[in-house]
């Protein structure tokens, strides 16, 4: 279905400036583009530089009706131009203080471009719900706005009742790739047996102590299972992610460690049998859609809630204690990969995968709901 008119509707999308928020909003941007929208996707200057570094300086030049714009984040000069996730507390403070004016000025620039016929006039905004200043901008400029939550429905609902849940002690809530992907890992996976490899990735913000890194490392090594482990440059507190030569020698024939990868392609590879994850919502949904059961080590924010559903409600994962120990990691990896509980979890996640496929296919409830949002919100005044 296409919504192309004489002049295209023009949606401006702005994510919270973090990998886990950029990815799902970028997917929505691609869906809207497919439905006939001109897209302006707004990153911070810092993250856009990282995006171009990972994808290539000219990687987006050939896109039609899909443009990128940037706004300053107020932190770049403080934190330099490294390949690291920015501090969440500092970002939140800067969003409250600085982003409104920069975003307003960007929309004024887009209005000028539309006057001269370079792009269609902006017709709607799509904002990450963690960027609340966009609501004020939309009201002042009379744009319809869609607020997008990158977290699960259960987490979103829990957040609405956070104080009550916290008082009752029920929920332990804590307060498009920016790294260059190493695709050689896909060749390495080709050499492995079906469902034999443990994929390990703690996402873009979780950090380990050096002691936790070592415990995970030897748990993986002692399990004797092949594994692909993503160790970001900033994964370890203090910046030192160096593992001993003894460990490297031990896993040389069955372990591969890289800094980042195309996660969806990895999870959908036939050789992947399990996913050791921080339980971010992107990773959770991608694992379900690939039919891969999980070992869960939640770090913060929505991840403990996601973990509860993964392990207790859907029964497609097993939780690892925060105080991680190598013996426990070894035991749970073997349970996940070859144990009876792991087999049951694999059956359960395959059933969830089937439901996800049905819901997102033409005529499915997710497909129908997206059409409804487009017609009743984004195109309401168009």
Which positions are catalytic?
21, 128
CA angle 18–22–24, rounded 5-degree value: 135
**Axis-axis angle for helices 19-34, 281-290 (nearest 10):** 60
CA atoms lying within 13 Å on the CB side of residue 287: 33
Tokens of 211: 């002691």
SS3 (DSSP) at 162: helix
Asked whether the beta carbons of 199 and 228 are under 8 A apart, the reply is yes
Asked whether the beta carbons of 154 and 303 are under 8 A apart, the reply is no
Cα torsion 289, 293, 210, 322 to 10°: value is 110
Asked whether the beta carbons of 105 and 339 are under 8 A apart, the reply is no
Give every CB contact of residue 156 below 8 A, 6+ residues apart in sequence.
149
Q: How far is residue 362's CA from residue 355's CA, in Å, rounded to a whole number?
A: 13
Asked whether the beta carbons of 324 and 296 are under 8 A apart, the reply is no
Tokens of 134: 């966009």
Asked whether the beta carbons of 12 and 125 are under 8 A apart, the reply is yes
DSSP string, 66-89: EEEEEE--S-HHHHTT-SSPPPHH
Asked whether the beta carbons of 292 and 31 are under 8 A apart, the reply is no
Sheet of strand 255-258: strand arrangement: 255-258, 227-230, 197-201, 272-277, 294-296, 317-319
CA angle 5–8–11, rounded 5-degree value: 140
SS3 (DSSP) at 230: strand
């Amino acid at each position: 279905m296409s919504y192309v008119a004489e002049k295209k509707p023009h949606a401006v999308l702005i994510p919270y400036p973090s990998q886990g928020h950029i990815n799902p909003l970028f997917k929505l941007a691609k869906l809207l583009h497919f439905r006939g929208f001109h897209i302006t996707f707004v990153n911070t200057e810092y993250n856009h530089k990282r995006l171009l570094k990972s994808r290539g300086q000219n990687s987006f030049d050939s896109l039609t009706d899909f443009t990128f714009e940037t706004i300053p984040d107020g932190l770049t000069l403080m934190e330099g131009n490294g390949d690291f996730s920015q501090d969440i507390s500092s970002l939140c403070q800067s969003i409250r203080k600085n982003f409104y004016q920069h975003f307003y000025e960007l929309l004024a620039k887009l209005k000028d471009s539309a006057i001269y016929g370079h792009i269609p006039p902006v017709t709607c905004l799509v904002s990450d719900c963690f960027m609340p200043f966009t609501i004020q901008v939309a009201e002042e400029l009379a744009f319809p706005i869609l607020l997008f939550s990158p977290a699960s429905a259960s987490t979103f609902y829990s957040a609405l009742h956070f104080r009550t849940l916290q008082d009752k002690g029920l929920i332990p809530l804590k307060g498009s790739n920016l790294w260059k992907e190493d695709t050689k890992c896909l060749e390495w996976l080709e050499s492995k047996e079906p469902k034999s490899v443990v994929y390990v990735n703690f996402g873009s913000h979780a950090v380990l102590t050096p002691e936790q890194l070592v415990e995970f490392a030897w748990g993986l090594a002692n399990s004797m299972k092949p594994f692909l482990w993503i160790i970001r440059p900033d994964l370890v507190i203090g910046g030192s992610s160096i593992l001993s030569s003894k460990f490297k020698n031990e896993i040389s024939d069955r372990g591969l460690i890289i800094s980042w990868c195309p996660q969806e392609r990895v999870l959908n590879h036939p050789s992947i049998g399990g996913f050791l994850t921080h339980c971010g919502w992107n990773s959770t949904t991608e694992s379900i859609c690939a039919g891969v059961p999980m070992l869960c080590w939640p770090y913060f924010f929505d991840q403990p809630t996601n973990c509860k559903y993964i392990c207790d409600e859907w029964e497609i994962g097993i939780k690892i204690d925060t105080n991680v120990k190598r013996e426990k990691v070894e035991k749970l990896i073997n349970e996940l990969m070859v144990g009876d509980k792991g087999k049951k979890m694999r059956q359960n996640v395959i059933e969830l995968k089937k439901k996800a496929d049905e819901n997102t296919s033409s005529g499915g409830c997710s497909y129908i709901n997206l059409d409804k949002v487009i017609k009743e919100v984004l195109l309401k005044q168009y």
